[in-house]
Amino acid sequence: MIPVYKHTNIKNLSIEAQKLLVHCMVCPRKCGVNRIKEELGQCQTGKDAMVCSYGTHFGEERELVGLHGSGTIFFSYCNLHCVFCQNYDISQRGEGYKVSAEQLAKMMLDLQNQGCHNINLVSPTHIVPQFLQAFLIAKEKGLNLPIVYNSGGYDSVETLQLLDGVIDIYMPDTKYSSNDLGEKYSGVKDYWTVNQLVLKEMYRQVGDLVINKQGLAEQGLLVRHLVLPNQIAGSFEVLKFIAEEISKNTYVNIMDQYRPCYLGDRFTELSRRITQQEYNEVVNFAHKLGLGLRNLLCNHE
Ligand code: SF4
198 within 8 A of 157, measured Cβ to Cβ = yes
Does the beta carbon of 27 lie inside 6 Å of ligand 1?
yes
**Closest protein CA for atom 1 of ligand 1:** 126
Cα 211 off chain centre by:
19
Report CA(190)–ligand 1 centroid distance (Å): 15
Residue ranges, the chain, pLDDT below 50: 1-7, 293-294, 298-301
Per-chain mean pLDDT for the chain: 93
Q: Please tell me the pTM assigned to this model.
A: 0.94
Q: How far is the CA of 134 from the centre of ligand 1 (A)?
A: 19
Burial of 67 (0-12, 13-18, 19+ CB in 10 A): exposed
Q: Ligand 1 mean position to 154 CA, how many Å?
A: 11
pLDDT of residue 193: 98
Which residue's alpha carbon is nearest to atom 3 within ligand 1?
Answer: 41
Taking each helix axis from N to C terminus, what angle separates 10-19 and 128-140, rounded to the nearest 10 degrees?
160
The secondary structure of residue 21, as a DSSP letter, is T
Cα 144 to middle of ligand 1, angstroms: 29
Q: What is the pLDDT of residue 2?
A: 41
Does any ligand 1 atom lie closer than 6 A to the CB of residue 43? yes
From 126, 157, 189, 190, mutation site for ligand 1 pocket: most ligand atoms within 8 A of C-beta: 126
3-class secondary structure, 163 = coil
How remote is the CA of residue 193 from the centroid of ligand 1, in Å? Answer: 18
Atom of ligand 1 nearest to the CA of 21: 4
| DSSP-assigned states of every residue in 251-271 | EEEEE------TTGGGSGGGS
Nearest to 36 by CA among 119, 130, 124: 130
Q: Which CATH number fits domain 10-299: 3.30.70.20, 3.40.50.2300, 3.20.20.70, 1.25.40.80?
A: 3.20.20.70
Q: Give nearest CA residue, ligand 1 atom 5.
A: 30
CB contact set of 58 (below 8 Å; sequence gap of 6+): 65, 69, 70
CA of 199 from ligand 1 middle (Å) equals: 20
What's the 192 CA to ligand 1 centre distance in angstroms?
18
Report yes or no: 166 and 13 within 8 Å, Cβ to Cβ: yes
User: Are the C-beta atoms of residues 84 and 108 closer than 8 Å to each other?
Assistant: no
Q: How many percent of the chain have pLDDT more than 70?
A: 94
Query: Does any ligand 1 atom lie closer than 6 A to the CB of residue 20?
Result: no
Indicate whether residue 29 lines ligand 1 (CB < 6 A).
yes
Q: Specify the ligand 1 atom closest to the Cα of 25.
A: 5
pLDDT at 63: 93
Task: List, for residues 163-216, the tens digit of each pLDDT value.
Answer: 999 999 999 999 999 999 999 999 999 999 999 999 999 999 999 999 999 999
Specify the pLDDT at position 10.
86
Query: Is ligand 1 within 6 A of the CB of residue 24?
Result: yes
Residue nearest to atom 4 of ligand 1 (CA): 24
